[in-house]
């Protein structure tokens, strides 16, 4: 178990033991709470409650402004609308009432037909979905969850709230992978000191070094036919330059990569994985402007389709460029692993892999652009996962909103068996024309804002670590997506549930391959509400929990 999870469990256990001690002391038990909580039951309308009570957020209770309004319900307190317990009771939304009269469970515990959620007792709902977890059915080993830092290294390392920002980006997120843009040789952008500072900060915050992926967004301008790093609608020249003899200059491209790795190594940066060209089958169409360099699977002089457009011309081969690069890297130590082909979509992966010598590829990588998270071609995604089942598969670049990110992580890890998922952008400007609301964190000159996708990824990344293994987690509801991850020592299991529907669900968890681990912590984010990564306490005795519509819930189990 990681130090982070052990520390979290230790803190939780101390709180739990303290609460248990108080619960066993009759002097700490609220007056007649057992006899006074028969009114605390589930409801949909007021008529299902006692005459003096109202149905608020699915429970029979009384609205309140302060504790005096709760006098008739002995053992209760006024839980204000801003309290995490009130928000949790209202399935992640702020209640319309100023407060709710609810019995606190931090000291007394709850009756057998109730559960403690965010510090208050609430009725255990009848489950309408069942999730079975089989820790003996093993799948892929996790490399981790992360994001790209293509242009913002200096903005992070020089931010006025540097310490808080770094804690948010790394320790609080549990980030595992940093994807870096190879900026070597880009005049005016090839200072690597900010990169080294960022990696040092990430390692210090995490307590371990993140996995580093180094990819070229574009080779330097001198290696491009258009004489520029950026492209904009110029597909015919947005590609590798040629020698005086008319051949594609693979040798100079390979030399650029060798020089780049030497330069990064000189400042202490050792990439774990490299990808020779990001999005080789894409270029920005005008008026878009961006870094790109087109490579076909193998050298071609014919009509190709890029971004849905047919283009006739001569293009360099990804296979030839990678072969030249690996030849140039002979003798380089430690030799990074090679991921390929990092196409903009997953449909193109097969044609690129077919052109490559299998022994030259250590991990398969692609992006998911053009994919609607709510309409993923799961059969096609599964087929990509079977192209090279002996190699780890990375989803190395994609962005979506909070729920969309959660769903894409689920599908790539459970259907495709991906070992890593990376968001397109770790940080982005929080305001202005370049604002990216799908970045994990938005930056201003003085502050930063956590975006919804951050919480989607955090539900996976915080309570797992590299080396964990995905295990079976099957759901009885098509609207409830489930996955589970087992620690290497089998002493911890993390279950992630996503309700992608519009109806609230109550789920019952069941370990079919053995006893449920002794301890648990439930956290939840409701994307249409205000609840973000809220820690709700431990799972109910019967293993039942609420999963509101358009939400993600993590249950972190430890023995």
The Cα 500–Cα 42 span in angstroms is 23
SS3 content of the chain, % helix, strand, coil (to 5): 25, 30, 45
CB neighbours (10 Å) of residue 501?
A: 15
Query: Peptide bond preceding 341: is omega within 30 degrees of 0, i.e. cis?
Result: yes
How many residues are listed for the chain in this entry? 559
DSSP 419: S
Q: What does each C-alpha distance from 367 to 48, 306, 395, 397 come to in angstroms?
A: 51, 15, 6, 5
Alpha carbon distance 430, 160 (integer Å):
15
Question: Which residues neighbour 390 within 8 Å (Cβ) at sequence distance 6 or greater?
Answer: none
Place of tokens 């087109």: 294
**Pairing relation of β-strands 230-231 and 290-291?**
antiparallel
Q: How far is CA 149 from the centre of its chain?
A: 15
| Torsion (CA) 223, 228, 232, 237 in degrees, nearest 10 | -40
Q: How far apart are CA 184 and CA 191, in angstroms?
A: 8
- CB-count exposure of residue 27 (10 Å: 0-12, 13-18, 19+): exposed
Alpha-carbon gap, residue 254 to 425, rounded angstroms: 27
At residue 308, the pLDDT reads 74
Q: Report the C-alpha gap between 226 and 240 in whole angstroms.
A: 9
Residue 228 has φ and ψ, to the nearest 5°, of -145, 150
Order of strands across the sheet with 441-443?
427-429, 441-443, 448-450
Q: Which of 139, 122, 153 is nearest to 59 (CA)?
A: 122
Q: How far apart are CA 31 and CA 102, in angstroms?
A: 14
pLDDT, averaged per 10 consecutive residues of the chain (559 residues), comes to: 41 37 35 54 93 93 95 93 97 95 84 94 95 97 97 93 98 98 88 94 97 98 97 93 97 98 96 98 92 94 74 90 98 98 96 96 98 97 97 98 98 98 94 83 95 98 98 97 97 98 97 87 98 97 96 97
Tokens at residue 260, please?
Answer: 């780049």
* Rounded Cα gap, residues 152 and 175, in angstroms: 17
Continuous segment of H or E residues that includes residue 350: helix 349-355
CA separation for the pair 183, 191 (Å, rounded): 8
pLDDT reported for residue 312: 78
Is residue 71 within 8 A of residue 77, CB to CB? The reply is: no
DSSP calls for 136-188: EEEEEEP-EEEEEESS-HHHHHT-TTHHHHHIIIIITTT--EEEEE--TT-TT
CB 450: neighbour CB atoms within 10 A? 17
CA distances from 27 to 20, 107, 336, 510 (A): 13, 11, 63, 36
pLDDT of the residue at 303: 74
Domains of the chain (ranges plus CATH)? 31-123 (no CATH), 129-137+470-558 (2.60.40.1180), 142-426 (3.20.20.80)
Provide Rg for the chain, Cα atoms. 26
Token pair, residue 76, equals 């209760």
First to last CA, the chain: 11
**pLDDT at residue number 8:** 41
- Mode of pairing for the β-strands spanning 480-486 and 469-475: antiparallel
Q: Enumerate the H helices of 57-152 as residue ranges.
A: 84-89
Secondary structure of residue 548 in the 3-state scheme:
coil
Those residues whose C-beta lies under 8 Å from the C-beta of residue 365, and which sit 6 or more positions away, are 275, 339, 340, 341, 342, 393, 394, 395, 396
Cβ neighbours of 77 (radius 10 Å): 21
Coil/strand/helix, residue 364: strand
Q: Which of 414, 418, 423 is nearest to 378 (CA)?
A: 414
* 8 A C-beta contact, residue 405 and residue 457: yes
DSSP codes, 318-344: HHHHHHHHHHHTTT-SSPPEEEEEEES
Predicted local confidence at residue 37, as pLDDT: 56
* Distance of alpha carbon 428 from alpha carbon 221, whole angstroms: 25
């Amino acid at each position: 178990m990681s130090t982070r999870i052990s520390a979290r469990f230790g803190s939780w256990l101390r709180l739990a033991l303290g609460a248990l001690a108080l619960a066993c002391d009759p002097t700490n038990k609220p007056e007649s709470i057992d006899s006074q909580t028969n009114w605390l039951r589930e409801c949909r309308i007021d008529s299902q409650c006692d005459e003096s009570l109202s149905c608020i957020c699915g429970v029979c209770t009384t609205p309140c402004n302060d504790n005096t309004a709760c006098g008739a319900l002995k053992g209760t307190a006024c839980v204000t609308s801003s309290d995490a317990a009130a928000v949790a009771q209202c399935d992640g939304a702020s209640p319309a009432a100023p407060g709710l009269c609810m019995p606190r469970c931090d000291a007394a515990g709850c009756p057998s037909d109730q559960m403690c959620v965010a510090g208050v007792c609430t009725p255990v709902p009848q489950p309408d979905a069942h999730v079975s977890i089989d820790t003996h059915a093993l799948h892929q080993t996790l490399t981790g969850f992360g994001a790209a830092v293509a242009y913002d290294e200096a903005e992070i390392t020089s931010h006025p709230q540097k310490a808080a920002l770094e804690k948010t980006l790394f320790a609080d997120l549990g980030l595992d992978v940093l994807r870096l843009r190879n900026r070597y040789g880009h005049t005016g952008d090839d200072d690597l000191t900010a990169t080294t500072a960022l990696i040092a900060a990430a390692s210090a915050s995490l307590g371990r070094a993140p996995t580093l992926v180094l990819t070229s967004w574009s080779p330097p301008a001198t290696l491009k036919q258009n004489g520029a790093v950026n492209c904009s609608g110029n597909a015919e020249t947005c590609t590798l330059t040629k020698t005086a003899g008319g051949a594609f200059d693979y040798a100079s491209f390979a030399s650029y990569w060798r020089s780049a790795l030497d330069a990064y190594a000189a400042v202490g940066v050792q990439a774990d994985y490299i990808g020779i060209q990001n999005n080789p089958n894409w270029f920005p169409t005008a008026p878009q402007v961006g870094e790109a360099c087109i490579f076909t699977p193998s050298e071609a002089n014919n009509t190709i389709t890029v971004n849905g457009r047919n283009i006739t011309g001569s293009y360099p081969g990804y296979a030839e460029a990678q072969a030249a690069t690996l030849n140039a890297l002979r003798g380089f130590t430690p030799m990074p692993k090679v991921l390929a082909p990092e196409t903009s979509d997953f449909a193109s992966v097969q044609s690129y892999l077919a052109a490559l010598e299998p022994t030259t590829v250590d991990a398969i990588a692609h992006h998911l652009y053009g994919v609607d998270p709510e309409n993923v071609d799961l059969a096609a995604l599964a087929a990509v996962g079977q192209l090279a089942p002996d190699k780890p598969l990375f989803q190395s670049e994609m962005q979506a909103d909070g729920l969309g990110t959660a769903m894409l992580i689920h599908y790539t890890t459970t259907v495709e068996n991906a070992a890593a998922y990376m968001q397109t952008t770790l940080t982005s400007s929080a305001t202005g024309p370049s604002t990216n609301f799908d970045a994990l964190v938005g930056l201003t000159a003085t502050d930063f804002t956590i975006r919804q996708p951050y919480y989607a990824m955090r539900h996976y990344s915080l309570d797992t670590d590299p080396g964990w293994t995905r295990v079976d987690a099957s759901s009885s509801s098509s609207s409830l997506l489930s996955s589970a991850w087992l620690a290497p020592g089998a002493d911890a299991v993390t279950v992630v549930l996503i309700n992608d529907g519009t109806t609230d669900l109550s789920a019952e968890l069941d370990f079919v391959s053995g006893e449920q681990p002794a301890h648990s912590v439930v956290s939840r984010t409701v994307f249409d509400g205000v609840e973000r990564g809220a820690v709700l306490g431990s799972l109910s005795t019967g293993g039942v929990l609420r999963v509101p519509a358009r939400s993600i819930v993590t249950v972190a189990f430890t023995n």
